[in-house]
Amino acid sequence: KNEVEQSPQNLTAQEGEFITINCSYSVGISALHWLQQHPGGGIVSLFMLSSGKKKHGRLIATINIQEKHSSLHITASHPRDSAVYICAVRSSRIQGAQKLVFGQGTRLTINP
Amino acid sequence: EAGVTQSPTHLIKTRGQQATLRCSPISGHTSVYWYQQALGLGLQFLLWYDEGEERNRGNFPPRFSGRQFPNYSSELNVNALELEDSALYLCASSLVFETSGRGNEQFFGPGTRLTVL
């Protein structure tokens, strides 16, 4: 079993729909990242969370440390939101460790 | 402010050759990370450099190596290339604080797509 699991793996929705992508992890973490990868490969860091909730524009990320679960929400989705969304965690097991462990990604397609 | 830059954008090599990939971190960042994203697979951690030293290494053979220069830029070297080394190689940089428990956001470069023929 992967240390970081995302669901769904693929998601297709119509423009304007509310989108939720889920991430569950099995290790203790010091931080969780949500990343966006567009075709061509470039990765953009959307959020880094260690507790609570963060909002940026139409994007909202939440994390529940006790349940080891995080969600990424997109409100009023738009075709330009089509991308692969990746959840990544930084394990707290190893002091000073900075490496990220990644989920397999969720491929989001927003149709006009 | 310039982001993380990587060169080259694309690199084509043949089996057995060596590949060198380069990364320049965001100004002021001392940590550089290398990740591999092979076709059909997720991102895998390769190497972490900070202050010129290798701090952590992923589950990759020794023919994957690298170094970090005094200006904090970094090179990833892959020796004796194999077909399965074909992948997108991503570099990221971050600040590293001394106090533990403080997560540090990693900023990613555009990647180098390595094709091994």
Q: Which two tokens stand for residue A64?
A: 């529940």
How do residues B4-21 score in pLDDT, each as one tens digit?
999 999 999 999 999 999
What are the angstrom distances between the C-alpha of A36 and each of A81, A87, B9, B19? 9, 9, 19, 27
Examine the pLDDT at A50 and tell me if it is beyond 90: no
Q: Does A88 touch chain B (CB under 8 A)?
A: yes
**Chain B partners within 8 Å of A104 (Cβ):** 42
- Cβ contact A101–B45 (<8 Å): yes
pLDDT of residue B103: 46
- Cβ contact B33–A30 (<8 Å): no
Examine the pLDDT at B83 and tell me if it is beyond 60: yes
